């Protein structure tokens, strides 16, 4: 390896010699990669043969889609490592210990199992910002995750239970994806996550809305669960929630207390593909309401406007109600005033 490097350096002494340049190109060809011309500066900081470390972006290491079964050596200068779409089944403790500059680790679409993941694989990575572990075989949230992580993706694994300490102290975590797992209950695992903006729990086995969510939460995705009811104070407890998606659950009107969604702040509410017979009362500030594929059989304008006059009308822009038991003739004439901002109403 070192000889090859020195040869390249020698070849670079005078770039105007086409013969020398072609020697460099030949070497590049031979090694089937684009070697950085400035590589000489990093004699000791090599790139593993399985990967590419481009000259234009020397802090990145690309090792994705190569049938790898293990993690190659990650030099300490690397900040971004791409290991997705391989066949990595496990990672031993220590593998990333020298790679303390890492900011992103992309490990999605591998075959990682929790039993083959060391307890401290990621624990020394004090600068880690993104960790993508979706589409693996994990049955647990990896332990001892760095507290610096902002974006954690664990979707499409086999996680059934979340330990209450799983995300302890992760005060910078802003986005958490746990969709398509086997989660039945989250307990208070998210409680202290004071930066959490987006929580994705789609396609799990939740029977209830999780409690003890962080107050800052903006977007909550709960589609494709088994949720039947919603606590009355749910939205008043989370005043920052703007997007709530509850499509494809088992919600009935009996399970939704009267003013549950009559809270300002909410911008988008998706209740499609449930078992509603009536339109729940929503806040006048709501802009997008999705109610398609329920069993709604009346168009109750009072669900949107308790009073209709010049000054009091709904902010609703999009209302989707197709796949219910109503048609255009069921919409009362006063809807023109109450829903005056609506750009599209699907019936």
**Residues forming the site for ligand NAG (CB under 6 A):** 73, 94, 97-98, 259, 262, 281, 306-307, 311-312
Q: Please return the burial class of 291, using the count of CB atoms within 10 Å of its CB with bins 0-12, 13-18 and 19+.
A: buried
Among 343, 337, 284, smallest CA distance to 315 is for 284
Q: Which is nearer to ligand NAG, 297 or 312 (CB)?
A: 312
Residue 133: CB minimum distance to ligand NAG, A: 20
Residue 117: CB minimum distance to ligand NAG, A: 16
The number of C-alpha atoms within 13 Å of 330 and in the hemisphere containing its C-beta is 15
Q: Which residues contact 49 (CB under 8 A, 6 or more apart)?
A: none
Q: Which is nearer to ligand NAG, 98 or 252 (CB)?
A: 98
Residue 178: CB minimum distance to ligand NAG, A: 30
Q: Which is nearer to ligand NAG, 41 or 309 (CB)?
A: 309
Please report the DSSP string for 171-188 in residue order: TT--EEE--SS--SB-TT
Q: Kindly state the DSSP code that residue 327 receives in the 8-state scheme.
A: -
Q: Which is nearer to ligand NAG, 94 or 169 (CB)?
A: 94
3-state secondary structure of 114: helix
Q: Which is nearer to ligand NAG, 99 or 162 (CB)?
A: 99
Q: How many CB atoms lie within 10 A of CB 223?
A: 19
Q: Which is nearer to ligand NAG, 94 or 239 (CB)?
A: 94
* Spatial separation of the C-alpha atoms in residues 52 and 75, rounded to whole Å: 12
Q: Kindly state the DSSP code that residue 235 receives in the 8-state scheme.
A: H
Q: Which residues contact 307 (CB under 8 A, 6 or more apart)?
A: none
Q: Which is nearer to ligand NAG, 139 or 259 (CB)?
A: 259
Residue 42: CB minimum distance to ligand NAG, A: 14
139 touches 117 (CB < 8 A): no
Taking only Cα atoms into account, the Rg of the chain, rounded to an integer number of angstroms, comes to 27
Residue 281: CB minimum distance to ligand NAG, A: 4
Q: Which is nearer to ligand NAG, 307 or 341 (CB)?
A: 307
Residue 72: CB minimum distance to ligand NAG, A: 10
Residue 32: CB minimum distance to ligand NAG, A: 24
Residue 301: CB minimum distance to ligand NAG, A: 11
3-state secondary structure of 95: coil
Distances in whole angstroms, Cα of residue 88 to Cα of each of 73, 97, 129, 137? 14, 18, 21, 11
């Amino acid at each position: 390896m070192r000889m090859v490097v020195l040869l390249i350096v020698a070849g670079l002494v005078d770039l105007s010699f086409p013969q020398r340049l072609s020697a460099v190109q030949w070497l590049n060809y031979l090694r089937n990669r684009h070697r950085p011309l400035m590589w000489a500066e990093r004699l000791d900081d090599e790139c593993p043969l399985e990967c590419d470390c481009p000259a234009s972006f020397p802090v990145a290491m690309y090792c994705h889609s190569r049938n790898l079964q293990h993690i190659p050596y990650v030099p300490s200068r690397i900040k971004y490592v791409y290991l997705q779409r391989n066949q990595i089944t496990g990672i031993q403790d220590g593998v990333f210990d020298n790679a303390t500059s890492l900011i992103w680790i992309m490990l999605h679409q591998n075959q990682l199992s929790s039993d083959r993941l060391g307890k401290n694989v990621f624990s020394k990575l004090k600068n880690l910002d993104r960790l993508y572990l979706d589409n693996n075989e994990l049955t647990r949230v990896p332990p001892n995750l760095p507290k610096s992580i902002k974006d954690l993706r664990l979707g499409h694994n086999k996680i059934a239970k979340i330990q209450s300490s799983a995300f302890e102290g992760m005060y910078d975590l802003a986005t958490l994806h746990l969709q398509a797992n086997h989660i039945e209950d989250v307990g208070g695992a998210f409680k202290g996550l004071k930066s959490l903006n987006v929580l994705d729990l789609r396609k799990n086995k939740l029977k209830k809305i999780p409690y003890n969510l962080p107050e800052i939460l903006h977007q909550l995705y709960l589609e494709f669960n088994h949720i039947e009811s919603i606590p009355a104070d749910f939205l008043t407890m989370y005043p920052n929630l703007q997007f709530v998606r509850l499509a494809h659950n088992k919600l009935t009107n009996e399970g939704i207390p009267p003013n549950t969604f009559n809270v300002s702040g909410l911008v988008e509410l998706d209740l499609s593909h449930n078992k509603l017979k009536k339109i729940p009362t929503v806040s006048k500030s709501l802009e997008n309401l999705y109610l398609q594929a329920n069993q709604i059989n009346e168009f109750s304008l009072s669900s949107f406007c308790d009073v209709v006059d010049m000054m009091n009308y709904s902010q609703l822009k999009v209302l989707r109600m197709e796949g219910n038991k109503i048609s255009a003739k069921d919409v009362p004439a006063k809807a023109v005033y109450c829903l005056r901002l609506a750009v599209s109403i699907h019936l």
